[in-house]
A and B are shown apart, each in its own frame.
Chain A
Amino acid sequence: EAEVAQSPRYKITEKSQAVAFWCDPISGHATLYWYRQILGQGPELLVQFQDESVVDDSQLPKDRFSAERLKGVDSTLKIQPAELGDSAMYLCASSLGLYSYEQYFGPGTRLTVT
């Protein structure tokens, strides 16, 4: 069964350091999403791609966060510099297309900033 792949699964970093997460969506899925989930809360969208183009990055803290999907397949989310408040689960999801399609999530990357 096709799955969304993410790495690393866990990351511990010191504040002010740079950190990067990688996501490989389900093959054939044109739309890719990055969500952040704080413990005890639901996921919140950070950025959405359609192929290689950004569709929605209104909730992405652009002073420190960046995301790219250069060839329209896999994607990288970067934080520089990391802050204590960035500790959370970072989830990647993909879907066939933009409208009313189910989104399938990867296992997530648990980030701890010390």
Chain B
Amino acid sequence: EDQVTQSPEALRLQEGESSSLNCSYTVSGLRGLFWYRQDPGKGPEFLFTLYSAGEEKEKERLKATLTKKESFLHITAPKPEDSATYLCAVQAGQGAQKLVFGQGTRLTINP
């Protein structure tokens, strides 16, 4: 069974304090790994898709990386508006299209 585990569950940083969020996965045949941002009471907002180990993608203060067993979401010099829950999901297996999500990391950036 495909499994996705995110850590930590919650992270509190000061503005400008860089850090990383982790997403570990156990799947059979990874087709893609997805990162989403979710604000309270709203639907997830697409950030990145990573397809193969070694791949990296960047968007503003966020950078996502992928290895064969995990993905990291690095946040550099975060601002209070980066506060949100960050969700990791995998799409895996032959003929499978559904996303299997982790439980998310709740990130709070204090000014």
Contacts and interface: CB of A to CB of B under 8 A. Distances in A.
Given A42-B87, A42-B89, A42-B102, A98 B97 contact: yes
User: What interface size band does chain B fall in?
Assistant: 20 to 34
A106 B44 CA distance: 8
Interface in A25-46: 31, 33, 40-45
Chain A interface: which size bin?
20 to 34
B43 A100 contact: no
A31 B101 contact: no
A100 B42 contact: no
A56 B49 contact: no
A48 B4 CA distance: 20
Interface of A: 4, 6, 31, 33, 40-45, 48, 55-56, 91, 93, 98-100, 102-108, 110
